[in-house]
Structure 1
Amino acid sequence: MTRPPGYDINALRARIPALKAGSAHFDGPGGTQVPQPVIDAIAQALAGPLCNRGGSTAGERNAEAIVLEARRAMGDFLGADPGGVVFGRSSTQLVYDFSRALAKTWRPGDEVVVTRLDHECNVRPWVQAAAEAGAVVRWADFDPATGELLPEHIREVLSERTRLVAVTAASNLIGTRPDTLEISRAAHRVGAVVHVDAAQLSAHASVDLDRLGADSVSCSAYKFLGPHLGVLAARPELLYDLSPDKLQASTDSVPERFELGILPYAVLAGVTATVEFLAGLAEPTGSAVAATDRRSRLVSSMRLVEAHEDALRSRIEVELRGLSDVTLHARARRRTPTMLMTVEGREPLDLFQYLAERGVDTGAGTFYSVAASHRLGLGDHGGVRVGLAPYTSDEDADRLLEGVSDYLRLRVRPARRLAAATGTSRPGN
C-alpha cells in the first residue's frame, strides 16, 4: 500500500504501549488505544498538587490551568470557540443534559428531527426530551442500498415548526458521512438548531463547527486516542440562552454551568496531550520546529490520517468483496474507514469470536445503531464491524484478511464458540 508522504506508521505505533500486546485492532470505532504521552500527562497531573479550581494554592492553580488548556485544545480540535466547550463523563450524558436544556424552549406541537442512521445517543435523548415537551418527532430515513443520508431526506421532514435537527457526521455502523453543511443550511432556513454527533468523524478527519454547519457538536476523546471523556462544543451564544438544571450554588458562568460537579482534572490533562499528539503527526520525527498554530497542525495531521486510512480501507474492501458469501454494507460515496460485513448463513458473533481467537479484534452487533441495522435488513444481529484507526498497519490488514478467508473455509463451526461469543460479547458503541 502506498502511504501518504510524511506519515510514519511505525513511529506512531511505537508510542502506543497497548499495541505491544500483539492484537490487530479493528475495534477503533468502539474505542482506540492510548499513546504514551497521554498516559504520562495523566500521571503527571495526578502527581502534582490538585484541588478545586482557584488561584490561591498550587493545587487550585494547577486545576485551573488544566481546565483552561483543555478547553483551548478541544476548541482547536473541533474548530470551535473554547468558551463553548463543555466536558462530561460521556457524549451520551452531555447530549442528554443538552437536550433537556433545549427542550425547555420547546412548546407542544413543535417538531424535532432525528435520523435512522444515527447512534442512539443522538436519537433517544431528543426523542425523550420531545415527549416531555409535547413536541413531535419526525424521522429522516436513509437509502439502505447505498447507505446515503442525503439533504433531501432531511428536507422532506422539515417544517416551520422544526426546532431541532440531530444528525451524525459519520455513522458508527457503516461510516456514512452525510452532507451536514447542506442539512444545516436547510434546518437553519426554518429556524432550527442543529446538533451534530461528531464522535466517529473526529477519529478520522478534522472537525470544524462552521464547515459542519452545526450549532453544537459532541464527541468522545477515547475515539481519537484519548482517555474516556465526553465533549460538547456549542456556539457560546446558544449556551447563554439556555438554563440547564444545576445546583443552586454552582456558577452561572458559561460553559461551567453545563458541567455538573468537579471535573476530572487528570483526564483533562490527558485530553490536551491527545490533541497535541495528533497535531504532531504531520511533523517529522524529532523536528525541533513546529507550527505555532495548533489548529493548522491538526488539520494537516488529520489529512495524513485520512489518506492513510482511506488507502488501507480501499485495499481491505477490494479483497473482502472478492470473497464468496461476504457482503459489505458500507457503500456511501463519502465515508469513514468503518466497514460492516456479514457472511451468508453465518452469525456475526461467530466470525467475531473466530477472529478474536486469532488476535484480530473487531466487533459484532448493532453498536447502538439499532434503527440503521434494521433498515439494512440485519435486524438485531447486525454485522461484524471492522474499523481502522491511525495506527492500523498493512500487517494488521493481512491478519484480518487471512482470518476471514480461513473462516470461510470452515464448513461447520462448533456450537460452543457461538455460545461463548453470545455470552461474552457486548453491543458496544
Structure 2
Amino acid sequence: MTYDISALRAQFPALDAGIAHFDGPGGTQTPQPVVRAIADAMARPLSIRGRLTPGERNAEAIVTGTRQALADLLGAQPAGIVFGRSATQLTYDFARTLARTWAPGDEVVVTRLDHDANIRPWVQAAAQAGATVRWADFDPATGELTADDIRAVLSARTRLVAVTAASNLIGTLPPIAGISALAHDAGALTYVDGVHYAAHTTVDLERLGADFFVCSPYKFFGPHHGVLAARPELLETLWPDKLLPSTDAVPERFELGTLPYEFLAGTEAAVDFLAGLGAGADTGPGTDGAGTRRQRLTMAFTALEAHEQTLRAQLDKGLSALPGVRVHSKAAHRTPTLLLTFEGRPAAEAYPFLAERGVHAPAGSFYAIEASRRIGLGDTGGLRVGLAPYNNAEDVERLLAGLAEFLAP
C-alpha cells in the first residue's frame, strides 16, 4: 500500500493557489472528482425521485447509491442512513423527536467536551420535556474524557447520553465503545457526534455501540450537508413531525422536503475518493481496488492515519522548539488537531498574520464553547491547527516558520 501525497494533492484545484491549509476541521478542500460528480448530476435529467422518466431514475439512483456509500463508510445499513441540511439540523430534529418520550424526572447527559451542536439541542429539548440535564466533565489539564466521567452522572433515569467521538477543538478521542456500554447498561441511548471523528479514522457503528451517529461530508472532501446513521429498527420506533402526504418509510420519514441530489452525488464521489487514498495515484471514484469498498476504506484510513500522525510528530517537534507556545491538545488518543495559545500574544492576532503568508489556521472556540471555557480560554479559544489528508511536510514547515516569525521579539 502506498500514500502518494503528490498525486493526491494534484486532485485538489484549490491547492493550486499555494495556500497551506490547516483549516480542515472547519471543512476540507474539494477534490476534482467530487466537483465533477456534482456538475454531472446537475447536467443530466433530474427531477423528483421515481422510476418512470430519466430524471426520476437519475434521482433515485443518486439517493440509493449515496446511502450505500455512507453505509460502507460508517459500517451501517443503507436503510439507517438519514440525510439532512447539516449535523446541527439533524441533531435538533432528533432531539425534538426523542424528547417526546421523556418525562419530568428523566435525565439527559451532555459533556463539556462537545461542540455546542451536541449540547444545546439536548439542553433545550430537556427543558421543554421537564427532564434534568446532567453534565459530564473532562480533565482540563489533559483534555481526557473517560468512561468514569460518564459513569459518575448516569442513573436509572438516564434516557440519553450525547457525547463526541472526537473533540473538534482539542482532538481528544473519548472511549466511545466503553461509554456506549455504560449508557446501555443504564437503559439509555447514545447520540454520538462524529463530525470530527469521521474525517480521520475508520467508523464502525456497531463497534462504537452508537445508537445515533452524525457526521458532515464537507469535513471529508464532500459537499455541505449532514448525515445520520442509526439502526433501521430503532428509526422505526420514532415519529418526527412531517407533512401528511410524505412517506412513513424509514429513513425517508426523517428527510423533510426534496433532497439535494447533486450534493448527494458529490458525497458518493467523496467516499469513493477516500476509498482510494491508500492505492497511490489512482484515487478517483470508481477505482478498481482490491476488496469491497468497505475494505478499501479501512485500508485507506490506515494509510491516512499513518500519514497524518507522521506530520503531527513533525509539528509537535517544531512547536516544542518555539518559545511561548502552549499546546492544549494533550490527550493520549487524539486526532491530528492542535489548539495553541501564545504567551503575551493573542491567538486571534496569529490568524491574520499567518493568512497574510499563505498559511490558513483560524482562531476561535469553533462552537466548542463549553470546552474552551473549561480549559481556561473563555469564549476566545485559541489558534486551531488541523491536519488533513492533503497536507504535506512543506505545509508544516511553512506553518512553523510563520509562527516563529509571529513570536519573534
- For 2:44, the aligned partner's letter is G
Q: Tell me whether 1:146 sits opposite 2:142 in the alignment.
A: yes
Give the counterpart of 2:92 among 82, 87, 96. Answer: 96
Distance 1:127 1:147 in 2: 23
Q: Shift of the alpha carbon at 1:237?
A: 1.3
Per-residue Cα deviation, 1:247-301 (whole angstroms, up to 9, x for no partner): 1111000000100000000110000000000001122434974224110100100
> Deviation digits for residues 303-333 of structure 1, max 9, x if unmatched?
1111100110111012112211100000000
Asked if 1:203 is matched to 2:199, the reply is: yes
Aligned to 1:239: 235
Give the CA deviation at 1:235. 1.0
Equivalent of residue 176 in structure 1, options 158, 172, 175: 172
TM-score, reference length from structure 1? 0.93
Structure 1 residue aligned with 2:51: 55
| Separation of aligned partners in 2, 1:335 and 1:318 | 17
The 2-side partners of 1:291 and 1:71 are apart by 22
Deviations 1:127-168 (A, max 9, x none): 111111111000000001100000000000000000000000
- Contact conserved, 2:97 with 2:239, CA < 8 A, in 1? yes
Q: Provide the C-alpha distance between the structure 1 equivalents of 2:39 and 2:258, rounded to a whole number of angstroms.
A: 19
Is it true that 1:65 corresponds to 2:68 in the alignment? no
SS at match of 1:319: helix
SS at 1:149 equivalent? coil
SS in 1 for 2:276: helix
Does the C-alpha gap of structure 1 residues 201 and 286 become closer, same or farther in structure 2, counting only changes over 3 Å? Answer: closer
Matches within 5 A, 1:6-405: 6-286=2-282, 289-405=288-404
Instruction: Letter of the 2:375 partner, please give it.
Output: L
Structure 2 contact 119–162 (Cα < 8 Å) conserved? yes
Runs of 4+ displaced beyond 2 Å: 284-289
Residue 396 of structure 1 deviates from its aligned partner by 0.3
Task: Report the AA paired with residue 336 of structure 1.
Answer: T
Distance change in 2, residues 1:112/1:286 (3 Å): closer
Query: Is contact 2:276–2:282 with CA below 8 Å preserved after alignment?
Result: no
Structure 1: how far apart are the matches of 2:239 and 2:347?
45
Unmatched tracts of structure 2, length 5 or more: none
The one-letter code matched in structure 1 to 2:50 is G
- Aligned residue identity for 2:246: S
- Separation in structure 2 between the aligned mates of residue 136 and residue 275 of structure 1, nearest angstrom: 39
In structure 2, how many angstroms separate the alpha carbons of the residues matched to 1:340 and 1:285?
32
| 1:225-246 Cα deviation digits (max 9, x unpaired) | 1111100011111110000011
Using the alignment, how far apart are the partners of 1:292 and 1:184 within structure 2? 30
Query: In 1, distance between residues paired with 2:291 and 2:78?
Result: 17
Secondary structure of the structure 1 residue equivalent to 2:367? coil
- RMSD over aligned Cα atoms: 1.0
Q: How many residues are aligned here?
A: 406
The answer to whether the 8 Å contact 2:278/2:304 transfers is no
Equivalents in 1 of 2:281, 2:169: separation in Å? 34
Could you tell me the TM-score, scaled by structure 2's length? 0.98
| C-alpha contact (below 8 Å) 2:7/2:280 kept by paired residues | no
Q: Residue type matched to 1:317 in 2? A: D
Letter in 2 for 1:45: A
| Paired residue type of 2:335 | T
Between the two proteins, what is the percent identity of the paired residues? 62
